[in-house]
Amino acid sequence: MKLKHLVGLRFKERPADCVIESHALMLRGGYMKYVGNGIFSEFPVLKRITAKIERIIREEMNRIDGQEVLFPVVMPAELWEESGRYESVGSELVRLKDRSGSKLVLGMTHEEAAVQLVREYGQSYQQYPFMIYQIQRKFRDEARPRAGMIRVREFTMKDAYSFHTSQEDLEKYYEKCYQAYNRIFQRAGIPEVVTVQSDSGMMGGSVSHEYMLLAEAGEDSIVICKECDYRANMEAAENLVENDGGEGKKELTCISTPDCKTIEEVCDFLKSDVKTSCKAVVYQKNIDDSYVVAFVRGDYEVNETKLRNLVGAELHPAEITEDSPLVAGYIGPYQISDQVAFYCDRSLKGIESLVAGANKEGYHYDGLNLERDLPEITYYDIAKVKEGGICPCCKKPSITIRRGIEVGNIFQLGTKYTKSMKMQYTDEKGTAQYPVMGCYGIGIGRLAASICEAKHDDYGPIWPISIAPWEIHLCCLRSDDPQTKEVSDALYQKFLDAGMEVLYDDREGVRPGAMFSDADLIGIPIRVVVSPRNLKENMVEITTRDKSVKEMIQIDQSFDFVKGLRERLFAEIEEKVES
C-alpha cells in the first residue's frame, strides 16, 4: 500500500477535547473519526488493526472449541422480557419500536440471544459442554461516553457463551477461557494485563473476573495487594477494617452543632477524630424514590456497587426535600425515621463511642455506641477500600490502589438466563435440568485503544507487530531522485513478494520531517528509510518504532536484515505467550 493513497488525514495539533493520549493520537493519526456522541467511524489504519485483533481472538476461541455464530444487533423486546432484563436494565438499553409498533431493543450484550439460539439444540446432556461466540456490533447508551474508543456507545465486541451440565464443568471451562484470554492479550502485545475479581453487575452470576490494563488513564480503580496475589476491582473489593475501640464507651449525649453539616465540620467543632465519626450518605431507589442511607466511618467512602448489590435495586444520589423524613446534614442511625432503610458499614464496628447525626436540625449525638444503642445492628461491607488497607487474602495492611482499563471480562452466570428463559436439558437419568452458563467478552476497539494507551510515546503509537496496521514502513525520502526512487521501489517490491506488509511512503515534495511524523503517528514497528545521503554510502537506515534498533545497513543486506528483524519481533511476542 502506498501512503499517498491511504484514506485518512494526519495532523499535528492535539484535539482539545481529548482526556487520554490514545484518543488524541488515534484522531491525529487518522485512525477514526467522530460521528456523534460515543460513535466513531474507523479509517483503514484502525480497521487493519482491529481485523488483526479479531483474527487472534478467533484463533484462540476456536482453540478452546468455540464455534462462531452471529446474533442480530436488533432484537425483539420479548426476548429481553423473557429474561426480565427488558425491565431491569437502565436506559443504557435502547428500546425502540418498528413501523408496526412492535417493541425492539438494540443488543448491548447477547445472553438472551445465545439462549434462544441453542434452546432446542441443548436438550440432551450429550450435547454438553459447548461454547458459541460472535464478533458483532453492540450499542450501549452510555450516559458519559469518553476517552475515544475506550468508552463509546457503539462498539465491536467478541462475546462468547458457554453451556454446561454442572458448576464444576463450568469452572473447568472457565479456567480454559481464562488461559485463552491470557494468550489473546499476550499475542496482542500486552502481556502486562492483569486479572482482577469483579462485580457481576447487571449480568448476574457470582464469580467474575476482569482483565485490566494498568494505566493512569483508566477509569477503573484496582485494588492490589503488594504482598500477595490479591487483585480486585474497587467495585468488588472486600473492605476489612480493624477498629481499636477508640476512647472507650461514653454516655449518649445530644449536642448542639449549629451550621455543622459535613462530618468534617462536626468533628472540627467537637474536636473529635473523624475516625470515630459516623458519616451518612443518602440515596434513593430508582423505582420509587424511597430513601436508602449508608453509614460509614467518617474517613471512608461508600462503595455504591456493593451498596446496590446489597439493596438489590438501582440507586441514585438523594435529593432531600423539606417534607422528607430526613434532616439533611444531621442524619444518624440512632432514632432515624422508620420510613428510611439504612445500612451500617463494617468500618463502624467496634468503635465504642461515635459522633453521629441526631436526626434533628442543628444537633449531633456524641457517645453513640451502636451495639448498645441499636441492639439489632448488622454490619455490611459497603465502603471503598483505601490505600494501605488490609488485604482480605493475606490480611496484611498492604493494599495499594491503581487505575486500570478493562479490556475483557469473564463471568460465571450460573442458571440466571437458562432458568428465566426455560432452557432445559435431560440428564443421564432422564431428569430435566437447567444448564449452567458462562460468558466471556472482549471489546475490540477498546482493546486497540488500550494497546495504544500502553504502547506509545509523545509522537504516536508503538504498535506490537502482531496487530500493527503494517509490519514495515518504507520511506523514500526523495522520490524525485531517480536512484533513491529506484532502490525504494525495488525494496518495496521485494517486501511485497515475500508476503510482508509494507506501507510505502513515496510522496513527492514532502519533507523528511513530515514523513517521519506521519510514520510515528501510524506507529508501524519497522522503519526503512532510503535517502540520497545514505545511498552515497550504499546504505539504508533501518529502525524500530520503539527506538531499540537503529542501524545503517548495506543495501544488498537490507532485505535480509528486515526479514530477520521482523521474525525477531514476532518471536518476542510469541515468547510471552503461554502454551
- Interface positions with a copy of itself (CB under 8 A): 5-9, 30, 33, 35-37, 39-44, 46-48, 50-51, 65, 67-76, 78-79, 91-92, 94, 96, 98-99, 102, 104, 106, 113, 116-118, 120-121, 130, 132, 136-137, 139, 141, 143, 153-154, 156
Picking from 454, 407, 411, the residue whose alpha carbon sits closest to that of residue 185 is 407
Give the nearer residue to a copy of itself in terms of CB position, either 141 or 457: 141
Give the nearer residue to a copy of itself in terms of CB position, either 153 or 364: 153
Q: Shortest Cβ distance from residue 464 to a copy of itself (Å)?
A: 21
Dihedral pair phi/psi, residue 535, rounded to 5°: -65, -30
Give the nearer residue to a copy of itself in terms of CB position, either 4 or 568: 4
Which secondary structure element, helix H or strand E, spans residue 445, and what is its range? helix 444-454
Give the nearer residue to a copy of itself in terms of CB position, either 43 or 411: 43
Cβ 102 vs Cβ 134: under 8 Å? no
Q: Shortest Cβ distance from residue 138 to a copy of itself (Å)?
A: 9
DSSP string, 2-15: BGGG--S---SSPP
Give the nearer residue to a copy of itself in terms of CB position, either 70 or 490: 70
d(CA 521, CA 515): 10
Q: Shortest Cβ distance from residue 75 to a copy of itself (Å)?
A: 6
Cβ 172 vs Cβ 568: under 8 Å? no
d(CA 419, CA 433): 9
Give the nearer residue to a copy of itself in terms of CB position, either 198 or 517: 517
Picking from 18, 48, 41, the residue whose alpha carbon sits closest to that of residue 503 is 48
Q: Shortest Cβ distance from residue 111 to a copy of itself (Å)?
A: 13
Q: Shortest Cβ distance from residue 92 to a copy of itself (Å)?
A: 8
Q: Shortest Cβ distance from residue 10 to a copy of itself (Å)?
A: 10
d(CA 345, CA 563): 61
Half-sphere exposure at residue 10, Cβ-oriented, CA atoms within 13 angstroms: 21
Partner residues linked to 475 by β-bridges: 505, 529
Give the nearer residue to a copy of itself in terms of CB position, either 21 or 42: 42
Cβ 135 vs Cβ 9: under 8 Å? no
Q: Shortest Cβ distance from residue 200 to a copy of itself (Å)?
A: 23
Q: Could you tell me the CA-to-CA distances from 281 to 52, 73, 221, 287, 343 in Å, in that order?
A: 47, 39, 21, 19, 10
